[in-house]
Amino acid sequence: MDIVQIITTLFKSLFGLVNKKMQVPAVVSSEARAMPKRDDALYDRQAWENAFKFIKANYEAYYDGYIEWKGGTHKGTGQRYNNVLLAHEGGEYLEIFRTYKAGLYYLNGCDIITKERYIKEMQGDSFQTYCNVLASAFTVHYGAGDIQRYKDPRTGKYHEHSANDVFDNLKSGYYNTEELRWKIVDYKEGVSYASDGGLTLASWRNPRRGRSGHVAVVTGRGDINSMKTIEIFQAGLDYGYMPYKKGFGTAVALFFILVENDIEDNEVT
């Protein structure tokens, strides 16, 4: 088997895994569907679908792992990349070639490597989980900008934001603009809003000093009778669709929906 066949086989295998994780039947409770629509709602089913299509096409680029910022051209695909991620997924050690551009990670190539090389190459690199980066893929598609590497419109400067920072910024209104704002709602309204094509984020700040928080996308599916059984989509140590309880454990998140801005009320409420 030559190198092209090996790469083709790898991509088919990974794509099969992606399809399995991405294809989940839509199950929305009648209670969620019966909730009244908001006057300030930003329902954009196309943005929602485009965000999921993007993640599906670049699924491996959002694995957690060790990142090194270096550029080159992937030998198999011929595509340029500007960073490399080392990941251990599904029993395989992977070297994932990516391009970061305008808040999104694009997949440029993926190779299976040995455990020995994985251990050698990871030395000195920083381990990253991507819950905030994946959430940013959705905010970018909805026109709300990259909330992980955010360009402050007031200063024009970029700032890196952890999951804890994202929680603080959503709650304080830091990400609000003249056109859009984030509003706190209860989890049931957040599920209903997502089921209608709106963007809902579940966000939690870790109260323990130096420990990471968490943020996930609410899909609008699952059992709405309990917060722990609603469905979320996230990256991190667990990646893909899952119940809230699996992603957040016992942590109680706040739920933020992206709405059109009322100029007379630019505060998060």
Residues 263, 178: contact at Cβ < 8 Å?
A: yes
Average pLDDT, the chain: 86
State how far the alpha carbon of 123 is from the alpha carbons of 37, 71, 113, 126, 171, in Å: 51, 18, 15, 9, 37
Give yes or no for residue 33 having a pLDDT over 50: yes
Q: What percent of the chain has pLDDT over 70?
A: 84
The Cα–Cα gap between 257 and 42 comes to 9
More confident residue, 46 or 237: 46
Cα 163 to chain centroid, rounded: 11
Q: Crossing angle of helices 3-22/45-57, nearest 10°?
A: 140
Tens digits of residue pLDDT in 186-202? 999 999 999 999 999 99
Give yes or no for residue 230 having a pLDDT over 90: yes
Q: Please tell me the least confidently modeled range out of 23-32, 57-66, 162-171.
A: 23-32
Give yes or no for residue 242 having a pLDDT over 80: yes
- The pLDDT value recorded for residue 8 is 46
All domains in the chain, ordered by first residue = 25-47+129-260 (3.90.70)
Residues 58, 140: contact at Cβ < 8 Å?
A: no
The Cα–Cα gap between 185 and 238 comes to 25
- The pLDDT value recorded for residue 6 is 47
Give yes or no for residue 85 having a pLDDT over 90: yes
